[in-house]
Amino acid sequence: MKTDVDVSSGERIMNTQVVPRAESNVRAAGEGRESELARRDSEGRFRLMADAAPVMIWMSGTDKLCTYFNKNWLDFTGLPLERQVGNQWSEGVHPDDLERCLDTYCRAFDGRQEFRMVYRLRRFDGAYRWLLDTGVPRFESDGAFDGYIGSCIDITDQKRVEEALRASEARLRFLLESTHAIPWVADAQTRRFTYVGPQASELLGYPTDDWYGDDFWALHIPPDDRKATLAFRHEHGSREAAIPTISLTTGCSRRTGAPSGSMTS
Protein backbone atom coordinates (compact mmCIF):
# COMPACT_ATOMS: atom_id res chain seq x y z
CA MET A 1 0.00 0.00 0.00
CA LYS A 2 2.79 2.36 0.84
CA THR A 3 4.44 1.81 -2.52
CA ASP A 4 1.17 2.53 -4.37
CA VAL A 5 0.71 5.74 -2.46
CA ASP A 6 4.26 6.82 -3.24
CA VAL A 7 3.85 6.07 -6.93
CA SER A 8 0.52 7.84 -7.11
CA SER A 9 2.00 10.81 -5.32
CA GLY A 10 4.95 10.85 -7.73
CA GLU A 11 2.65 10.82 -10.74
CA ARG A 12 0.70 13.71 -9.34
CA ILE A 13 3.94 15.66 -8.79
CA MET A 14 5.09 14.84 -12.32
CA ASN A 15 1.78 15.92 -13.81
CA THR A 16 1.84 19.25 -11.99
CA GLN A 17 5.29 19.97 -13.51
CA VAL A 18 4.80 18.63 -17.04
CA VAL A 19 1.45 20.21 -17.87
CA PRO A 20 2.48 23.88 -17.30
CA ARG A 21 5.73 23.29 -19.22
CA ALA A 22 3.84 21.78 -22.14
CA GLU A 23 1.38 24.65 -22.14
CA SER A 24 4.31 27.11 -22.15
CA ASN A 25 5.91 25.35 -25.11
CA VAL A 26 2.64 25.36 -27.04
CA ARG A 27 2.15 29.06 -26.30
CA ALA A 28 5.71 29.89 -27.40
CA ALA A 29 5.29 27.91 -30.59
CA GLY A 30 2.05 29.73 -31.32
CA GLU A 31 3.64 33.10 -30.72
CA GLY A 32 6.55 32.14 -32.96
CA ARG A 33 4.18 31.21 -35.78
CA GLU A 34 2.25 34.46 -35.35
CA SER A 35 5.47 36.45 -35.41
CA GLU A 36 6.63 34.69 -38.57
CA LEU A 37 3.25 35.22 -40.24
CA ALA A 38 3.34 38.90 -39.28
CA ARG A 39 6.86 39.24 -40.69
CA ARG A 40 5.89 37.59 -43.96
CA ASP A 41 2.79 39.74 -44.21
CA SER A 42 4.87 42.88 -43.64
CA GLU A 43 7.41 41.82 -46.27
CA GLY A 44 4.62 41.05 -48.70
CA ARG A 45 3.10 44.50 -48.27
CA PHE A 46 6.51 46.13 -48.67
CA ARG A 47 7.27 44.26 -51.90
CA LEU A 48 3.83 45.12 -53.26
CA MET A 49 4.37 48.81 -52.58
CA ALA A 50 7.97 48.72 -53.81
CA ASP A 51 6.98 47.11 -57.10
CA ALA A 52 4.27 49.74 -57.60
CA ALA A 53 6.64 52.65 -56.85
CA PRO A 54 7.71 54.81 -59.84
CA VAL A 55 11.38 54.53 -58.80
CA MET A 56 14.02 51.80 -58.72
CA ILE A 57 14.45 50.39 -55.20
CA TRP A 58 17.19 48.20 -53.74
CA MET A 59 18.10 46.77 -50.33
CA SER A 60 21.31 45.40 -48.85
CA GLY A 61 22.19 43.47 -45.70
CA THR A 62 24.75 44.13 -43.01
CA ASP A 63 27.48 42.63 -45.22
CA LYS A 64 27.04 45.34 -47.92
CA LEU A 65 25.66 42.77 -50.36
CA CYS A 66 22.37 43.56 -52.09
CA THR A 67 19.47 41.26 -51.29
CA TYR A 68 16.52 42.84 -53.10
CA PHE A 69 15.66 44.87 -56.21
CA ASN A 70 12.14 45.93 -57.09
CA LYS A 71 10.34 45.34 -60.37
CA ASN A 72 11.34 48.71 -61.83
CA TRP A 73 15.03 47.91 -61.34
CA LEU A 74 14.67 44.46 -62.87
CA ASP A 75 12.68 45.87 -65.82
CA PHE A 76 15.30 48.57 -66.35
CA THR A 77 18.25 46.17 -66.44
CA GLY A 78 16.35 43.34 -68.12
CA LEU A 79 17.95 40.82 -65.75
CA PRO A 80 16.34 38.53 -63.15
CA LEU A 81 16.86 39.02 -59.43
CA GLU A 82 19.38 36.18 -59.18
CA ARG A 83 21.60 38.04 -61.66
CA GLN A 84 21.53 41.22 -59.53
CA VAL A 85 21.93 40.15 -55.88
CA GLY A 86 25.23 40.34 -54.06
CA ASN A 87 27.69 42.46 -56.05
CA GLN A 88 26.39 41.41 -59.46
CA TRP A 89 24.42 44.64 -59.94
CA SER A 90 27.70 46.56 -60.21
CA GLU A 91 28.51 44.75 -63.47
CA GLY A 92 26.03 47.10 -65.15
CA VAL A 93 27.69 50.29 -63.89
CA HIS A 94 29.66 52.25 -66.50
CA PRO A 95 33.40 51.45 -66.18
CA ASP A 96 34.26 55.14 -65.78
CA ASP A 97 31.86 55.45 -62.81
CA LEU A 98 32.36 52.10 -61.08
CA GLU A 99 35.25 52.91 -58.74
CA ARG A 100 33.71 56.18 -57.57
CA CYS A 101 30.32 54.52 -57.18
CA LEU A 102 31.60 51.67 -55.00
CA ASP A 103 33.83 53.99 -52.97
CA THR A 104 30.88 56.27 -52.16
CA TYR A 105 28.73 53.31 -51.19
CA CYS A 106 31.35 51.64 -48.97
CA ARG A 107 32.39 54.82 -47.15
CA ALA A 108 28.76 55.68 -46.38
CA PHE A 109 28.03 52.09 -45.35
CA ASP A 110 30.98 51.96 -42.94
CA GLY A 111 29.90 55.26 -41.40
CA ARG A 112 26.18 54.31 -41.33
CA GLN A 113 25.46 57.56 -43.22
CA GLU A 114 23.00 58.59 -45.88
CA PHE A 115 24.52 59.04 -49.33
CA ARG A 116 23.66 60.40 -52.77
CA MET A 117 25.58 59.60 -55.92
CA VAL A 118 25.20 59.90 -59.68
CA TYR A 119 26.39 57.21 -62.05
CA ARG A 120 25.54 55.52 -65.32
CA LEU A 121 23.83 52.12 -65.37
CA ARG A 122 23.37 49.93 -68.42
CA ARG A 123 19.76 49.55 -69.50
CA PHE A 124 18.28 46.39 -71.02
CA ASP A 125 18.93 47.75 -74.53
CA GLY A 126 22.62 48.37 -73.85
CA ALA A 127 22.28 52.14 -73.47
CA TYR A 128 23.78 53.76 -70.38
CA ARG A 129 21.44 56.01 -68.42
CA TRP A 130 22.32 58.49 -65.68
CA LEU A 131 20.84 57.61 -62.27
CA LEU A 132 20.58 59.59 -59.05
CA ASP A 133 20.93 56.99 -56.28
CA THR A 134 20.02 57.82 -52.68
CA GLY A 135 20.67 55.34 -49.86
CA VAL A 136 19.86 55.40 -46.15
CA PRO A 137 20.78 52.98 -43.34
CA ARG A 138 18.09 50.71 -41.85
CA PHE A 139 17.83 49.97 -38.13
CA GLU A 140 15.78 47.49 -36.10
CA SER A 141 13.46 48.66 -33.32
CA ASP A 142 16.23 47.96 -30.80
CA GLY A 143 18.68 50.15 -32.75
CA ALA A 144 20.61 47.29 -34.35
CA PHE A 145 21.94 48.07 -37.83
CA ASP A 146 20.10 46.09 -40.50
CA GLY A 147 21.66 47.21 -43.78
CA TYR A 148 20.62 49.83 -46.34
CA ILE A 149 17.68 50.73 -48.52
CA GLY A 150 17.92 53.01 -51.54
CA SER A 151 16.07 54.41 -54.51
CA CYS A 152 17.19 55.51 -57.97
CA ILE A 153 15.65 57.88 -60.50
CA ASP A 154 16.65 58.30 -64.15
CA ILE A 155 18.06 61.82 -64.66
CA THR A 156 19.45 61.32 -68.18
CA ASP A 157 17.18 63.95 -69.73
CA GLN A 158 18.11 66.44 -67.02
CA LYS A 159 21.82 65.77 -67.60
CA ARG A 160 21.39 66.35 -71.33
CA VAL A 161 19.67 69.68 -70.70
CA GLU A 162 22.47 70.70 -68.33
CA GLU A 163 25.14 69.70 -70.85
CA ALA A 164 23.37 71.60 -73.63
CA LEU A 165 23.11 74.66 -71.38
CA ARG A 166 26.82 74.49 -70.52
CA ALA A 167 27.70 74.18 -74.21
CA SER A 168 25.46 77.15 -75.04
CA GLU A 169 27.02 79.24 -72.26
CA ALA A 170 30.49 78.32 -73.48
CA ARG A 171 29.63 79.46 -77.02
CA LEU A 172 28.11 82.69 -75.73
CA ARG A 173 31.13 83.36 -73.54
CA PHE A 174 33.45 82.78 -76.50
CA LEU A 175 31.50 85.23 -78.66
CA LEU A 176 31.32 87.88 -75.95
CA GLU A 177 34.97 87.61 -75.04
CA SER A 178 35.98 87.85 -78.69
CA THR A 179 34.65 91.42 -78.98
CA HIS A 180 36.28 94.71 -77.99
CA ALA A 181 33.34 95.62 -75.77
CA ILE A 182 33.06 94.73 -72.07
CA PRO A 183 30.37 92.09 -71.53
CA TRP A 184 28.95 91.88 -68.03
CA VAL A 185 26.11 90.45 -65.97
CA ALA A 186 24.83 91.97 -62.72
CA ASP A 187 22.38 90.92 -60.03
CA ALA A 188 19.11 92.83 -60.45
CA GLN A 189 18.67 93.32 -56.68
CA THR A 190 22.18 94.01 -55.38
CA ARG A 191 23.54 95.59 -58.59
CA ARG A 192 26.76 93.63 -58.08
CA PHE A 193 28.53 92.16 -61.07
CA THR A 194 28.26 88.38 -61.31
CA TYR A 195 30.28 88.17 -64.51
CA VAL A 196 32.70 90.58 -66.20
CA GLY A 197 34.55 89.77 -69.41
CA PRO A 198 38.36 89.75 -69.45
CA GLN A 199 38.26 92.84 -71.69
CA ALA A 200 37.45 94.90 -68.57
CA SER A 201 40.95 94.65 -67.14
CA GLU A 202 42.54 94.90 -70.58
CA LEU A 203 40.65 98.06 -71.58
CA LEU A 204 40.36 99.83 -68.23
CA GLY A 205 43.24 98.38 -66.23
CA TYR A 206 41.35 97.31 -63.11
CA PRO A 207 42.00 93.74 -61.89
CA THR A 208 39.08 91.46 -62.73
CA ASP A 209 38.42 90.61 -59.06
CA ASP A 210 37.89 94.29 -58.21
CA TRP A 211 34.84 94.43 -60.44
CA TYR A 212 32.93 92.08 -58.14
CA GLY A 213 33.07 94.42 -55.14
CA ASP A 214 30.09 96.38 -53.83
CA ASP A 215 29.13 99.36 -56.05
CA PHE A 216 32.35 99.07 -58.06
CA TRP A 217 30.73 100.39 -61.22
CA ALA A 218 29.00 103.29 -59.47
CA LEU A 219 32.12 104.31 -57.54
CA HIS A 220 34.17 104.52 -60.72
CA ILE A 221 31.82 106.77 -62.66
CA PRO A 222 33.27 110.32 -62.83
CA PRO A 223 31.54 112.68 -60.37
CA ASP A 224 30.11 114.84 -63.14
CA ASP A 225 28.30 111.84 -64.65
CA ARG A 226 27.46 109.83 -61.51
CA LYS A 227 24.20 111.42 -60.45
CA ALA A 228 22.58 111.32 -63.88
CA THR A 229 23.81 107.79 -64.60
CA LEU A 230 22.57 106.34 -61.30
CA ALA A 231 19.23 108.07 -61.72
CA PHE A 232 18.91 106.61 -65.22
CA ARG A 233 19.78 103.14 -63.92
CA HIS A 234 17.30 103.43 -61.06
CA GLU A 235 14.53 104.54 -63.42
CA HIS A 236 15.04 101.83 -66.01
CA GLY A 237 16.49 99.05 -63.86
CA SER A 238 13.04 97.89 -62.68
CA ARG A 239 11.93 97.32 -66.28
CA GLU A 240 13.18 93.78 -66.72
CA ALA A 241 12.68 93.70 -70.48
CA ALA A 242 14.76 96.84 -70.91
CA ILE A 243 17.68 95.95 -68.63
CA PRO A 244 19.98 94.23 -71.19
CA THR A 245 19.79 97.00 -73.83
CA ILE A 246 19.55 100.14 -71.70
CA SER A 247 22.13 99.09 -69.10
CA LEU A 248 24.71 98.10 -71.69
CA THR A 249 24.14 101.28 -73.66
CA THR A 250 24.47 103.34 -70.51
CA GLY A 251 27.67 101.58 -69.49
CA CYS A 252 29.21 102.09 -72.89
CA SER A 253 28.14 105.69 -73.36
CA ARG A 254 29.33 107.01 -70.00
CA ARG A 255 32.90 107.92 -69.20
CA THR A 256 34.63 105.61 -66.72
CA GLY A 257 37.58 106.42 -64.52
CA ALA A 258 40.70 104.38 -65.31
CA PRO A 259 43.23 103.45 -62.58
CA SER A 260 45.56 106.21 -63.66
CA GLY A 261 42.80 108.76 -63.06
CA SER A 262 42.32 109.47 -66.74
CA MET A 263 38.92 109.18 -68.34
CA THR A 264 37.97 106.75 -71.08
CA SER A 265 34.78 106.60 -73.07
DSSP secondary-structure letter at 185? E
256: domain CATH number is 3.30.450.20
Which of 142-151, 200-209, 242-251 is predicted least confidently?
Answer: 242-251
First to last CA, the chain: 134
Domain co-membership, 106 together with 231 = no
Per-residue pLDDT at 246: 32
pTM over 0.75: no
| Boundary of a domain, candidates 103, 121, 156 | 156
Which of 104-108, 109-113, 128-132, 182-186 is predicted least confidently?
Answer: 182-186
Domain co-membership, 78 together with 207 = no
In a domain, 170, yes or no: no
Domain that holds residue 193: 179-264
* pLDDT > 80? residue 50: yes
Domain co-membership, 148 together with 191 = no
- 132-141 mean pLDDT: 96
Report residue 213's pLDDT band, with 50, 70 and 90 as the boundaries.
Answer: confident
- 44-64 mean pLDDT: 88
Which of 15-24, 178-187, 225-234, 235-244 is predicted least confidently?
Answer: 235-244
Report residue 68's pLDDT band, with 50, 70 and 90 as the boundaries.
Answer: very high
More confident residue, 206 or 71: 71
Domain co-membership, 78 together with 139 = yes
Three-state SS annotation for 42-95: HHHHHHHHHHHCCCEEEEECCCCCEEEECHHHHHHHCCCHHHCCECHHHHHECH
| Boundary of a domain, candidates 120, 141, 156 | 156
For 233, other C-beta atoms within 10 Å of its C-beta total: 20
Beta bridge partners of 48: none
Per-residue pLDDT at 243: 42
Q: Environment class of residue 121 by beta-carbon count within 10 Å: exposed (0-12), middle (13-18) or buried (19+)? A: buried
215: left (phi over 0), alpha (psi -120 to 50) or beta: left
Domain co-membership, 183 together with 149 = no
Q: Are 256 and 263 in contact (CB under 8 A)?
A: yes
Number of domains in the chain: 2
Domain co-membership, 195 together with 248 = yes
In a domain, 172, yes or no: no
Per-residue pLDDT at 8: 55
Report residue 29's pLDDT band, with 50, 70 and 90 as the boundaries.
Answer: low
